[in-house]
Amino acid sequence: MTTKIKGMDKSFIKIKCPDCGTETLTYARGSTEVKCPVCNTVLAKPTGGKFEINGQISGEFK
């Protein structure tokens, strides 16, 4: 499942890896790919102002 994030008011998000289930905390508006630290699956890709999320957002934090 791929989710696009646009205009989030939260500073950080926690993404659950679709392959191994590991949760990774990342900045909500990033400019680099975010990979799972366990299985190296790409969890988030920057797409010009938006993040394309490959996984499930399991938390949002300010």
Name the one residue in this structure whose structure tokens are 């590991």: 22
DSSP 12: E
pLDDT given at position 51: 83
Q: Mean pLDDT by 10-residue block, N- to C-terminus, for the chain (62 residues)?
A: 54 92 89 93 86 88 80
CATH number, residue 29? 2.20.25.100
- How does strand 12-16 pair with strand 56-61? antiparallel
pLDDT given at position 16: 95
The domain tally of the chain equals 1
Domain membership of residue 20 as a residue range:
2-61
pLDDT given at position 42: 95
Residue 16 has phi, psi (to 5 degrees) of: -95, 125
pTM of the model: 0.75
pLDDT given at position 6: 52
Decide: 25 and 43 in contact? Cβ < 8 Å. Answer: no
